[in-house]
């Protein structure tokens, strides 16, 4: 069974940092890519970042502008783990953060009923 498990979420004060991770298991062969998403009620699913299996990061200028360089995605292929380093966190970053092998999901709610997604990790930023 393929699985993605996120960890590292928690409660942090505004201006603080968190490094959340997502570890894969059960996959046969290399994972072609990873995506990070977040969702906070009542908002929909929001794309955060993505990385290819070879470490390539393809993020649009609009997404870069939204996070102003505060979030950095990285990959440890040897450990089948992807990370999201989040700095200078703001209360509006409060959400459940999900990882997926889908780098192009554009649905309204995450996780969807299809694809490979983790269970999510809660990030709460207090003001």
pLDDT 10s digits, 36-87 = 999 998 999 999 999 999 999 978 888 888 888 899 999 998 889 999 999 9
Q: What are phi and psi of 97, to 5 degrees?
A: -105, 130
Buried b (16+ CB within 10 A) or exposed e, 48-74: bbbbeeeeeeebeeeeeeebeeebebe
**Given a cut of 90, is residue 122 above it in pLDDT?**
yes
pLDDT of residue 44: 93
pLDDT of residue 60: 82
Q: Where are the beta strands (DSSP E) in 1-127?
A: 3-7, 10-13, 18-25, 33-39, 46-52, 71-76, 81-86, 95-100, 121-126
- Mean pLDDT computed over every residue of the chain: 94
pLDDT of residue 58: 78
């Amino acid at each position: 069974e393929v699985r993605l498990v996120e960890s590292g979420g928690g409660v942090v004060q505004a201006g603080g940092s968190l490094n959340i991770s997502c570890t894969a298991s059960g996959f046969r062969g290399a994972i072609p890519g990873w995506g990070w998403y977040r969702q906070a009620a009542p908002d929909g699913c929001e794309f955060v970042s993505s990385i290819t299996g070879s470490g390539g990061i393809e993020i649009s200028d609009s997404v870069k502008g939204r996070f102003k360089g505060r979030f950095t995605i990285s990959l440890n292929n040897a450990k089948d783990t992807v990370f999201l380093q989040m700095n200078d966190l703001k209360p509006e970053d409060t959400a459940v953060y999900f990882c997926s092998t889908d780098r192009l999901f554009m649905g309204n709610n995450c996780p969807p009923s299809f694809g490979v997604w983790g269970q999510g990790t809660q990030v709460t930023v207090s003001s």
